[in-house]
C-alpha cells in the first residue's frame, strides 16, 4: 500500500497535476495508517479514509472507532462503487500483465515487430533460438530484408 501511494502521489507532484479532494483506501485501520504515513512523508494535506470490506466500516485517521453507515446510505453506496471500480480496474490490469508474461517474447521489444510479425516468425521457425540461427535470407522471405536485419542484429546482442 505504501509503495503504491508513494509512487502515485510522487508522480502527481512531479508532474504538477491536480491532487484529489479525498483519498479512499481499500482496507481498515492498517491500510489507512499506511496511507497517512505516506501523506505525511510527502507533506500532503489530503483527507484520507479507509473502507473495510467485511462490515463496510469507514475508518478516519482521527477516530479510533469506525463509522458504520446504514446499508442503504447513498454515501456508503458511492464508496462501495468507487472501491469496486478500483478492484475491477486492477484485476483487468493484472490479467493483461499476466497474459503478456505468458505470451511475451524478446521479439516484442524490437521496434517494428508487432504481434502479427512475432507470431509469423515463431510459427515458421518454432522459437527465438531458431530465429537467431536462421539466415538473413530465410527471415527476409517472411518479413522483408530491412526488418530481418534489424531482428538478427537485436537478437545477437
Provide the CATH number for the domain around residue 19. 3.30.420.340
How many Å is the Cα radius of gyration of the chain? 25
Q: Closest Cα partner for 1 from 15, 29, 20?
A: 29
**Residue 115: which domain range?**
104-156
pLDDT tens digits, residue range 88-124?
Answer: 998 998 887 777 666 668 898 899 998 899 889 988 9
Spell out the residues 6+ positions from residue 71 whose beta carbon is closer than 8 angstroms to its own: 56
Cβ atoms of residues 47 and 59 within 8 Å:
no
Chain mean position to CA 50: 21
Spell out the residues 6+ positions from residue 80 whose beta carbon is closer than 8 angstroms to its own: 51, 56
Give CA–CA dist 40/63, Å, rounded. 17
Q: Do 92 and 23 lie in a common domain?
A: yes
Q: Do 113 and 79 lie in a common domain?
A: no
Q: Do 71 and 124 lie in a common domain?
A: no
Q: Do 108 and 95 lie in a common domain?
A: no
Residue 25 phi, psi (nearest 5): -95, 135
Q: Do 143 and 87 lie in a common domain?
A: no
Q: Which of 102, 128, 147 lies at the terminal end of a domain, its last residue?
A: 102
Q: pTM of the full predicted structure?
A: 0.62
Q: What is the mean pLDDT of the chain?
A: 92
Q: Do 47 and 19 lie in a common domain?
A: yes
Q: Do 38 and 110 lie in a common domain?
A: no
Q: Do 97 and 112 lie in a common domain?
A: no
Where on the phi/psi map is residue 5: left (φ > 0), alpha (ψ -120 to 50), or beta? alpha
pLDDT tens digits, residue range 63-82?
Answer: 999 999 999 999 999 999 99
Q: Do 121 and 146 lie in a common domain?
A: yes
Number of separate domains in the chain: 2
Q: Do 15 and 62 lie in a common domain?
A: yes
Amino acid at each position: 500500500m505504501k509503495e503504491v501511494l508513494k509512487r502515485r502521489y510522487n508522480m502527481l507532484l512531479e508532474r504538477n497535476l491536480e491532487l484529489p479532494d479525498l483519498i479512499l483506501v481499500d482496507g481498515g485501520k492498517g491500510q489507512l495508517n499506511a496511507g497517512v504515513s505516506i501523506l505525511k512523508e510527502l507533506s500532503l494535506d489530503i483527507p484520507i479514509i479507509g473502507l473495510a470490506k467485511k462490515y463496510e466500516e469507514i475508518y478516519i485517521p482521527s477516530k479510533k472507532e469506525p463509522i458504520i453507515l446504514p446499508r442503504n446510505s447513498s454515501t456508503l453506496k458511492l464508496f462501495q462503487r468507487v472501491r469496486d471500480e478500483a478492484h475491477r480496474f486492477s484485476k483487468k490490469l493484472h490479467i493483461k500483465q499476466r497474459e503478456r508474461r505468458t505470451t511475451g517474447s524478446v521479439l516484442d521489444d524490437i521496434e517494428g515487430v508487432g504481434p502479427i510479425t512475432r507470431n509469423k516468425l515463431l510459427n515458421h521457425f518454432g522459437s527465438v533460438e531458431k530465429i537467431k540461427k536462421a539466415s538473413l535470407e530465410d527471415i527476409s522471405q517472411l518479413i522483408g530484408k530491412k526488418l530481418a536485419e534489424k531482428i538478427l542484429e537485436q537478437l545477437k546482442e
